[in-house]
Amino acid sequence: MKTAADGDLIRRINRHRVLTEIRRRGTVARVDIAAATALSPATVTTVTGELLDAGLIEIAEDGEAARRGSATLSARGRPRVLLRLNPAACHVAGVKIAMHQVSVWISDFAGNLVRSIMVPVRANRQPPEVVADLVEDALRQACVGAGLKLAEIAGIGLGVPGFIDFSAGICHWSPVFGEGPVALRSLMTERLGRPVFVDNDANLATYAELWRGAGRGHDNFLVVTVEHGVGMGAVVGGQLYRGSKGFGSEFGHTKVARGGALCRCGQRGCLEAYVADFAILREAGDLLSLGDLDDPFEVQRGLDRLAEMARAGDPEVRRIHERAGEMLGLGIANLINLFDPALVILSGERMQLYEFYEAAMLAAARDNVLSVHRDRTPIQVNRWGDEVWAWGAAALALHELHLPPLEERRAV
């Protein structure tokens, strides 16, 4: 029978804490690790020694230490040894399947991008098996480009919009696959023979923020993604919140108007029905004379045209964005009232249009939060592009490969 509390467990817990601290900080001295983890300096020295021997961390180069100047000197004036993740410890891959393209990135252990490939494909025109084939081909070619064998990829994080059962690796519904569940993890592991982790794309963006973005160092924050749909990831107690059935937080289909606009899901008044691509284009339909909006390329064209008109100051287009901003602000106010987060981060491709709805969104959020939250919960926009998905998918894979011991994760 397993004994949870023995010396081995303690070593694993300490190892995970130290590694997490180094990852969060980027470059850090042992004394700061001790202060942040409440471990003794002796324990930190032992654990970092083990991690150095295992090749998971390395001593930061002299150049970097020199660049940081006096910050690298200890109280006694001796130069401090700075530690960081060893980029060469392993490689992971990130994959995002979007409406109009499949993207593959290879990253090192420190999250640096090594190689990427984008394949334009309307995924919803193809059966899932063909999409899986394309992902495999792109990944194999990216490996060749990176000078790696597929067997050297430690794990693959795969992001898809829609309802994903993370633990089973099944996509229950996604606009990129149409009807019916797709056993995405088994489809991919069959082809690749490597560990694959499948997640909602909003969760990937959340991992990116947690590991490398504005969420680093916060225990409770929310990420809202606006693009084809409106997604969300919640970090609670420093961990991605997955909910009781693994569906996590679905922000896009919370209702902001009883009996309101018709949503793609068939219900009325969903936030998505006011804010997502299809909603904006539906409102602007008469102005744009668009073709088939089930065609992702046509959607892309429509959005580009809309951005152009907004920039030219078209008052109708401006009003459309303002209303979307107002609804988004109302929804975000609800989130702030419910989660009391330290920070709300907006992300996703539609942030390129942010300037046109920012003012309306912030005003609506401010007007609709409890007075105790007013001006105390920053709403921050992340304009990083595809990088966010690369980072998120890599972070998902790294996270799953370096999970804390079970005993650290279970609820008490």
Catalogue the active-site residues. Answer: 201
Is 107 or 334 the residue whose CB approaches a copy of itself more closely?
334
At residue 73, φ and ψ (nearest 5 deg) are -95, 135
DSSP state of 412: -
Could you please report the per-residue DSSP string of 63-106?
Answer: HHHHHHGGGGB-TTSPBPPEEEE-GGG-EEEEEEE-SSEEEEEE
Contact 222, 205 (CB under 8 A): no
Q: Which of 392, 294, 391, 310 is nearest to 350 (CA)?
A: 310
Q: How far is the CB of 34 from a copy of itself (least distance, A)?
A: 7
Is 225 or 377 the residue whose CB approaches a copy of itself more closely?
377
What distance separates the 2 farthest-apart alpha carbons in the chain?
71
CA 236 remoteness from chain centre: 15
Q: How far is the CB of 53 from a copy of itself (least distance, A)?
A: 20
Q: How far is the CB of 406 from a copy of itself (least distance, A)?
A: 8
Q: Which of 207, 269, 284 is nearest to 239 (CA)?
A: 207
Q: How far is the CB of 380 from a copy of itself (least distance, A)?
A: 14
User: Which H or E run contains 239?
Assistant: strand 239-240
Is 46 or 300 the residue whose CB approaches a copy of itself more closely?
46
Q: How far is the CB of 19 from a copy of itself (least distance, A)?
A: 10
Sort residue 44 into left (φ over 0), alpha (ψ -120 to 50) or beta: alpha
Q: Which tokens hold the place of 8?
A: 């081995």
